[in-house]
Amino acid sequence: MIYQKLNETIIQLVGGKENIQAVVHCMTRLRFTLKDRSKAKTEELKNVDGVIDVVSNNVAYQVIIGTHVNEVHAELVSMLGINPTTDSNQATKEKKHPLKAMLDLVSETMTPVIEPIIASGLLAGFLSLFTITGVLSEESPTYILLNSIREAVFFFLPILIAMSCAKRLKASPYLAVALAATLVSTSINGVAELSIFGISLPQTTYANSFIPIILAVWFMGHLTTFLNKYIPKFLHYFLNPVLIMVICLPVTLLLFGPIGIWIGDGIGLLFKLLMDTFGSWIVVMLYAAFQPFLIMLGAGNFMMPLALNFVNEMGYDPIFLAAATISDLAVAGAMLGYFLRAKESKQKQLFGTVSFSALMGVTEPAIYGAFIKYRRPFIAVMIGGGLGGLFAGLMNVKTYSIVWGLMGLPSYAQNQDFSNLIFMVIAVLIAFIGAAVSAYILGIPETNTAKNEEETFSEETALEKESTFAKKLTLQPVAKGELVQLADIKDQAFSTGALGKGIGIIPSTSEVVSPVDGEVTVVFPTKHAIGIQTKEGVEILIHIGVDTVELDGTYFDTIVQPGDKVKKGQLLATVDFDGLKKEGYDTTIIVVITNTTDYLDVIPAIHEKLVLNDEMVTIVF
């Protein structure tokens, strides 16, 4: 838990665990879906050590961390008790505008897929460099084997897309992958004169595509929900998977495949019309100039499907990938200009670090760490990136592989197109130098650093003082008996602490009483478990016996109902523990705090014997 302190502070300042509906991440940002954004203390969060910046907009509540965000996110979801694979499903419960929901889906789906795409794109760049220098020939076994990585990533792109978007669309990722694999199989992909149920199928190439599988998985998610509702539960495991596959495949072949291809062709025709009408140079110039604004809005990945569509249709991308690289180098140049202009060592360190990161194709640290704060670098990138994009557009620069950034430049010489590489190098130099000179001339606005540091110090001091007055809540035993530590319980879900910290009691009486004042939130139909919540929000689960759910209420007489207010020591249930023993069941009563992670600590008692006036568990908060 390297980032535990950072995550604890983030959780506190976004309004607490109960205010977090979902959290995902991209390359540098934690993207929160908050139930109530007004509870978030954005300005305080911006001053936290380890947080580059905070951006709250219509896309998401974004906390900018840096390129190590993956590790921070992993610890964060662990502390929150959230399953990261179902995280986005929870976020989809929030009602969104359909267009915004679609943009979010595409952007979030492409984020995890970018990793293999970057790998294959950079590999293509290096292979081009090796063939240019004569290190490898395109006919050599080494070249063929390494090139197969690049080819496989894009050929099987529908499989990667299916895995990435399945959970977001409430579909089984394994069934989604099985469907995608079927579509790219030699029996279907690009095969003519196919038919199903006597209906002729259009010839469709699914390899390298992305829209058909997204539509298919969307349909699969809705079909899964429908079947889960109307198919008897005991048949779900056996019947639902085969029904899902048998229904989804023909629907995809008849409907979503052609629609997806038409949409892809339509996107291509739209941009072709723009290029034919205005010239490709203006589109490249505008994208290179304004890409930082798209990244700031969380829409930076949306250009990826468009670029993929161009490469699939034309064999190269005439707009987005070259413009993205030019823009990244312009960002690096702007930060170099600020590095040369800065006088404070802390500023130089910041500008130097984010400049190098942008040079490698990751611009978020620069945009959120410096651009938003100083604003003038946006103008520098518009000047430098716009000039570089203008030159690339006029020279008709082509991007043959899905790659961007400095390391991808060798790929522009693919197909022995050396003039294409030269024009691209000139374009990025124009962007880099133009942005660096512009940023240096524009200068660094003065900031009231001393005041900010003083305010931060005051806030930290106040938080430290507040934390010294920790509160606690004690739980009395739910029954007289012998104490058992949770690790010794013969039930893995409880003994591992997966359900929260707590304690066990081997009862010596038949009565089970309330450990606190609170409200009964749940009484299981089998009467073996009762949930209580206190006014402080502590959630307590009282589980009577191990595996006693199998008895379906036999030997249990529950006194309370959900919604009842109870006092400490009030009778909840009477249990025939002797009957349980005769049936061979463990009679241990298990008490756990199911929202343990909300509190500083949950401390079980260490007495060997417990009576009703003892302290069974202490919650510190």
Active-site residues: which are they? 26
Q: Within 279-417, where are the H helices?
A: 280-296, 303-314, 320-341, 345-359, 364-366, 372-374, 376-394
CB 618 within 8 A of CB 540: no
Q: How buried is residue 606: exposed, middle or buried, by Cβ count under 10 Å (0-12/13-18/19+)?
A: exposed
Closest CA to 411 of 161, 139, 118, 160: 118
Hey, CA dihedral for 156, 160, 163, 166, is it positive or negative? negative
CB 304 within 8 A of CB 210: no
CB 245 within 8 A of CB 179: yes
Q: Which two tokens stand for residue 589?
A: 């009563």
| Three-state SS sequence of 525-547 | CCCCEEEEECCCCCEEEEEECCC
Bridging pattern class, strands 29-34 and 502-507: unpaired
Q: Tell me how long the chain is.
A: 621
Q: Within 375-485, where are the H helices?
A: 376-394, 418-442, 449-467
Q: Is 473 helix (H, G, I), strand (E, B) or coil?
A: strand
Hey, CA dihedral for 10, 14, 20, 23, is it positive or negative? negative
CB 272 within 8 A of CB 370: no
Closest CA to 619 of 473, 516, 465: 473
Closest CA to 52 of 366, 378, 445, 454: 366
Distances from the Cα of 179 to the Cα of 166, 171, 220, 221, 238, angstroms: 11, 11, 10, 13, 18
Dist CA 601 CA 593 (whole Å): 11
Dist CA 111 CA 547 (whole Å): 43
